[in-house]
Chains A and B, each alone.
Chain A
C-alpha cells in the first residue's frame, strides 16, 4: 500500500479523500496507540493533538485565504467521525475546538483582531477551549451570571465554571458572559481570553466513566484582555447560527465514529466465528446485519441535519437559524445520536461476547461503552427534550 501523502503535499488542490486517508493513518499509527493509556490514566492525549497540529488540522475550518484548509462542515464532520474511531477523547477535544473555530470564522473575521488571530491560529495551531456552563446556572448555556467588566479599552472577566474541557491545556478559552454588569442573564457576549491573560484555579477533577482524556475539570477562571477580544454581535446570534448546530453535528459525528468502530470490532468477531464453520452464517452475523441498520439510521440523521445546515449557511438567513423548526431538528440529532451510540455499542458487545467484555482483548468494547454513555449527559438529553417540548408548542407552519 502506498504511504498516504502528507497534507502539505496534497495542497493547494486539496484532495479530500487523500486527506481522510492521512487522518486514518494518524489514527492508526499514533492516536490508537495511546487511546487505552489516555483512557486508563485520564490524561490529555498530547501525542494525538501534536500529530493533528503537525498536519495543521486544528485550522481545518479556517478559510484558505487566511491560511486554513477551508473545509466545509460536512468535511469537518467526516474528520471527527474518523478520529472517533480511534480515540473518542481525542475526537471530542478536536470537535470542541472546531466549534470555537466555527464561532470565530462565522461571526468575527470581519474584525481585524480576529482575522489576525485566525492567521495566528494557523501558524501556531492554537487549541481553543470553551467556558459556557456556570455554577449557579447549570447547563443552560443561554444564561450567564458572570459579566464582562469594561474599562476603556480593557476588560476583566471572572467565571466559576463547573466544567472546562481541556481548559488547563488550551491556548485560549472562549467564555460566555453577560455583556455588562447591568445586562439580563440572557443578554450575553462571547469573549476570547488568552492563556497568558487568565488564571485557572481547579474546583473539581475529572475522574469519569468515559471521555476521560478530555480532562474536563471545573475551574474558577480569572481573566483580562482588550475589548477587541469580544466577539462582535450578541451571543444569541452566535448560538443559533453556529454554536448550537455546529456542536451537535461534530459531536454526533464522533459518536458515529465510536459506533462504527464498535461494529468494526463486531465484524472481526463474526468473521472468526464464520471461519470455524464454513458455509454456515453464524447468528452473530445476523445480529451484525441488524446493528448495521441502526448505524445506518444514525448516519442518516447526521446527513439530514448536515444538508439542512448547508442550505441555511448558503442562504445566510439569520431568522432561519433562529427558527424553532431548525433548532428542533438539531436537538433531535443530538438526542437520537446519543441514544443510538449506546444501542450500537451494546449490540456490538453481544456479538463480540466475552472478547468485547474483557479490558485486555483486541475486541474490547469497554472504552466504547463508557464513552457512549457520556453522549446523553453532555448537555443532558432531558434538558434538550424539555426545550423541544416548549418549541413544539411554539412551532407553526
Chain B
C-alpha cells in the first residue's frame, strides 16, 4: 500500500507531535507520539480509506509501529 497515503492519514488522524510528512517509513510512530488511544482514530481512518478491517491482535506496535509495518499489514488484509 502506498506509504504516502498512509503518511497523509497519519498526519490527519494520529495527533503526532511531529510533522508526519517528515517521517521515514521505518520511523517509530510510538516515539513520535502515537498512543494506544490515538491508534483508534488512525485505525478507523485506515480502515475507511483502504476498505479493510483490522483484527484485535493487530492493534499494537507490531502493526502500528511504523509506516512500513502498516503498509505490509494493509497489503495482507487487502489480499486476504
Which A residues form the contact surface with B (CB < 8 A)? 142, 183-187, 234, 236, 240, 319, 322-325, 327, 387, 390-391, 393-397
Contacts and interface: CB of A to CB of B under 8 A. Distances in A.
Q: Which 3 A-B pairs have the closest CB atoms?
A: A184-B33, A394-B40, A396-B56
Interface of B: 16-18, 30-37, 39-40, 43-44, 53-57, 59-60, 62
In the complex, which of the residues B17, B30, B36, B39 has the most CB atoms of chain A within 10 Å of its own CB atom? Answer: B36
Given A324-B36, A391-B37, 11 more contacts: A183-B31, A185-B17, A185-B33, A186-B17, A186-B34, A186-B35, A236-B30, A236-B36, A391-B36, A395-B56, A397-B55
Contacts of B62: 319
Contacts of B43: 394
A319 B35 contact: no
A323 B40 CA distance: 12
B56 A323 contact: yes
B76 to A, nearest CB: 16
Contacts of B57: 319, 397
A322 B36 contact: yes
Contact of B36 (A184, A327, A393, A397): A327
Given A184-B17, A394-B40, A324 B56 contact: yes
Given A186-B30, A327-B36, A396 B54 contact: yes
A240 B36 CA distance: 10
A322 B60 contact: yes
Nearest to B16: A184
B33 A394 contact: no
A324 B17 CA distance: 23
Given A394-B43, A396-B54, A387 B37 contact: yes
A28 B64 CA distance: 52
A234 B36 CA distance: 14
Contacts of A322: 36, 60
Contacts of B35: 142, 186, 236
A240 B35 CA distance: 12
Nearest to B31: A187
Contact of A397 (B33, B37, B39, B56): B56
